[in-house]
Amino acid sequence: MSIYLLRGKFKPYVRMTRRGKWIDPEAQAYLVSQANLIAQLRQQMNGQQMLPARTPLKVVLWIIAPRVKHNCDIDNQAKALLDAAKGIIYDDDHWIDSLGVTRLTGAEEEVIFLAQALEVSHVA
């Protein structure tokens, strides 16, 4: 199991075209936010190996802010975080089979990001 603490505000996922990422201010803000999340994750990896490729994964996210904001979709917040972790914590987010996302009120803006290989049991 790996746990990461991401500090500061981040921009929820923004849909963009190839051209739009260079001219749309929302897309540019998202890309800057992604770079910050990626830098924090890389620093916290500290030589640790990525979770094994082609392995079902479980991810749990706790998104904490001084005031829980319902002005953006929680799935867009999760997508931004999952995309930032791709290639750092895990090889590809399409292997995430279990995902939990919770927004909470706390003193500072931060995210607790838990990732682990999923114990898979077959259902008969």
Could you tell me if residue 78 is inside a domain?
yes
Domain that holds residue 78: 2-117
> Is 124 domain-assigned?
no
Number of domains in the chain: 1
Which among 98, 75, 73, 81 is positioned nearest to 8, based on CA atoms?
Answer: 81
User: Which CATH number does the domain housing residue 46 bear?
Assistant: 3.30.1330.70
In the Cβ-directed half-sphere of 107, how many Cα atoms lie within 13 Å? 0
89, part of any domain: yes
Domain membership flag for residue 123: no
92 domain-assigned: yes
Q: State residue 124's pLDDT score.
A: 56
Q: Which parts of the chain register pLDDT below 70? A: 16-22, 69, 120-124
pLDDT for the residue numbered 9: 93
Q: Is residue 122 assigned to a domain?
A: no
Per-residue pLDDT of 38-54, as tens digits, reads 999 999 998 889 998 99
Residue 96 lies in a domain: yes
